[in-house]
Amino acid sequence: MDTSPELSEPCEDRDFAEWHQGCPWCAVWVVMLEDAALAQVLQQARAGLGDALLPRYARQPHITLAYRGLCQGGAAHIAQEYDAQALRADVALLQKLKQQPFAVQIAEPHSFTTVPYLRVKGDVPALQRLHAALVPQEPAPDWRYLPHVTIGHYAKQRPLREMLKHLEALGQGLPEITVTQLALARYASADIAGPLTLEGVFELGTGRYVAAPDALWRDFA
């Protein structure tokens, strides 16, 4: 019987050019979480894990709804997976879904092998419904969508039990956040820990999509 502890998998902070092949951006649908208490908890979590994490994680607090893939904007690219036509299809799908605003409760820390994270409490039917609509077929048979808020990327191989022990004090008083809009965001494909750039927002309730001033697809309609 194998009694060895499950270990974290270190991430490389490098440009994975073999993946993006020079395509500059990657698009994702997310729920942005602008909450001062949550930001403070994430900062405490990163401090608690210290050099077990990569030194930087610049992504704003968010819950990923759906990966959309590599993109460039107006011009085509050999590796491009997402474009204005795909955005139009996404917006039409979300409008048909008619999802109303909903609440998410951020909960205690946990961990994948590659990243520690804060749980989202319960199933949150709205998140599951939105994800299932945008991703009708999961990438693998055993894949299960698990909404979460990433803390950072592991830099070293450590027992996950040890990592969670450093975080166990952070499970109390985490915020409940009301979600009124979804965000289409993009990040630089050459930077695994870089910030999210807003592409546009989809307003729950009204079904209106509004492109950001510097969006790749300002006139997508």
Domain boundaries in the chain? Answer: 17-211
Which token pair is 26? 């990657």
**Interaxial angle between packed helices 125-134 and 84-97, expressed in degrees from 0 to 180 and rounded to the nearest 10:** 140
* Residues ≥6 apart with Cβ < 8 Å to 103: 176, 177, 178, 179
pLDDT at residue 75 in the model: 76
Q: How far apart are CA 136 and CA 194, in angstroms?
A: 28
pLDDT in tens, the chain (221 residues): 344 479 999 999 999 999 999 999 999 999 999 999 999 999 999 999 999 999 999 999 999 999 999 999 877 889 999 999 999 999 999 999 999 999 999 999 999 999 999 999 998 999 999 999 999 887 777 778 999 999 999 999 999 999 999 998 887 778 899 999 999 999 999 999 999 999 999 999 999 999 999 999 987 65
Return the pLDDT at 221. 53
Q: Which residues touch 136 (CB under 8 Å, ≥6 apart)?
A: none
The pLDDT value given to residue 217: 93
Residue 26: C-alpha distances to residues 13, 66, 71, 206 (Å) = 17, 12, 6, 27
Return the ∠ at Cα 54 (arms to 41 and 117), rounded to 5°: 40
pLDDT score, position 220: 60
- Tell me the CATH number for domain 17-211: 3.90.1140.10
| CA-based nearest residue to 40, from 161, 162, 149, 163 | 149
Angle at 216 between CA 66 and CA 57, to 5 degrees: 55
